[in-house]
Amino acid sequence: MKFTTAASLLAVSPLADATKPLVSSEKLQKLITEDGLMENLEKLNEIAYANGGNRAFGLPGYAASVDFIYEEISKLEGFKTWKQDFPANFTQTLAAEVTVDDETFRTVALTYTPSTSEEGVTAELVHAPEGTAACDVANYEGIDVKDKIVLVERGLCPDQTTFAGKVKPAAKAGAAVVVIYNSDEAKLTAGTLSAQSPDYVPTALIDQEPGKALKARLDAGEKIEAFAKVIQTIETRITQNVFAETKGGDEKNVVMLGAHLDSVQAGPGINDDGSGTSLILENAKALQHFSHKLKVRFGWWGAEENGLVGSRYYVNNLKKNEVDNLLAYLNFDMVSRGFFGVFDGTGEKKGPGGPPGSDVIEDLFREHFKAKDIEVTPAGLTGGTDYVAFLEVLKKPVGGLFTGTGLEQDACYHQACDNITNPVPDTIYKNAQAAAHVLSKLAIDGVELLPKIPSNSTVGSIKRVRDDASLHFHDVLSGVEGKPCDHDIV
């Protein structure tokens, strides 16, 4: 019995891996290979196509992705692994149609929209107030929208929403249905209201071109009858986060890396976010060969595309001592094509910034890329991906990498073509090396480099960063098209 106890203590001691060489940036980077990164993506691609073309939460492709990651991390030496069950609202669109004059437009039903009747709604089409005026119900005075279909352009409202901020005023004014047309040429395949609400009416999204054409006809005084139908099923399903944590390292100081494991229902999600999934997996595989002063934890999040549900659940269920022990969080969501984006920890380049210490993480990434003669694009910590709960609730230092979602960066964003042909192998390789550099630095010198931020009264209540998950957080960060974020928090 005494031997078992001693062995157990050794297993969690910082000296448990003392026989291994101490990790360094150069050594860790050498074990990161382009082939290894791409092999993971090929496996995720195979999983998607074997399961209806996606790896979305609540569907077989995600369950298979969980199995794949768990099988891989279970092979790691010196790690403990586990899964975390949590509930999330699963949505699936059964019908989405907007038709005018026998022309049916490409239509997307926003996630968490109420449904119309099975027969749909046929009614007069009316344009909402223009611009931010559509964000305030007071501006509907003098516009008869009762029981009608309201056409409104997507755009950022003062409350920092791009969908919900346009839907709620129209609904309050009496609209039967809201049809939002996109504010740029991107052909969106998904958008979300983040959560169900009695303040919404059935809402559909159409492309910019038909939206502008309809507006022009209405502006010319034409009376238009439109048909809209939106049917969506919403139910609670149990899904999982996956974790791997080093047995060695100081348990009072934990560095965490994360990436979301799910895709949207529209495609395989190989860049978004198979790339981040692969990046942290390869870093975990490399780290097993070294000793390090701090404990390192890797997390693969579920239901990110449904509103950061997995990471939010994880943060809200941490114990006080677990919060106190967490030193920093690094996030990797879309890292295989586009620019080399580093989250702006100071907020001086692409604000807002992060909690104290976020600037240090940014500097570590920037120094690495500078040494490699790679130009860095600043990415704002504007919300919409899995660092949000760590930043907003725990006030922990955050950082990470991101390669953009503008058409120039990823024309297949949230689409069926985000498959194995989408990633740029050299891009994910260079980002994985950058992650290895920062990981090695923090795993050795993290206590000296970063402030220790203890648990406080903010734990357990996530404040809204955005409340309409329109495109994806990446659209704000790209700095190319200035789009508002997607996975917004309510």
Q: What is the pLDDT of residue 17?
A: 63
Q: 3-class DSSP state for residue 360?
A: helix
Handedness of CA 259, 63, 288, 37 (dihedral sign): negative
Residue among 304, 362, 392, 481 flagged as catalytic: 304
Q: What is the pLDDT of residue 456?
A: 65
121-153 b/e (C-beta count within 10 Å ≥ 16 → b): bebebbbbbeeeebbeeebbeeeebeebbbbbb
Spatial CB neighbours of 387, under 8 Å, sequence gap ≥ 6 = 258, 329, 331, 343, 381, 398, 400
Q: What is the pLDDT of residue 10?
A: 38
Q: What is the CA radius of gyration of the chain?
A: 23
Q: What is the pLDDT of residue 193?
A: 86
Segments of the chain scoring below 70 in pLDDT: 1-18, 456-490
CA distance 259 to 276: 5
Q: What is the pLDDT of residue 471?
A: 32
DSSP of 145-182: -TTSEEEEE----TTS-SSHHHHHHHHHTT-SEEEEE-
Q: Which two tokens stand for residue 140?
A: 């509907």
Q: What is the pLDDT of residue 384?
A: 82
Active site residue 304: yes
Instruction: Enumerate domains of the chain plus CATH numbers.
Output: 15-90+236-477 (3.40.630.10), 91-234 (3.50.30.30)
Q: Which two tokens stand for residue 238?
A: 């149990």
Q: What is the pLDDT of residue 1?
A: 33
CA distance 381 to 334: 15
Beta strands (DSSP E) in 154-274 are 177-181, 203-206, 225-246, 250-260
CA distance 276 to 398: 16
CA distance 407 to 112: 26
CA distance 28 to 395: 29
Q: What is the pLDDT of residue 382?
A: 84
Instruction: Find out whether 410 and 422 touch, Cβ atoms under 8 Å.
Output: yes
CA distance 487 to 465: 9
Q: Which two tokens stand for residue 163?
A: 């969908």
Count CA within 13 A, CB hemisphere, residue 10.
10
What's the distance, CA 290 to chain centroid? Answer: 30
CA distance 365 to 221: 56
The length of the chain is 490
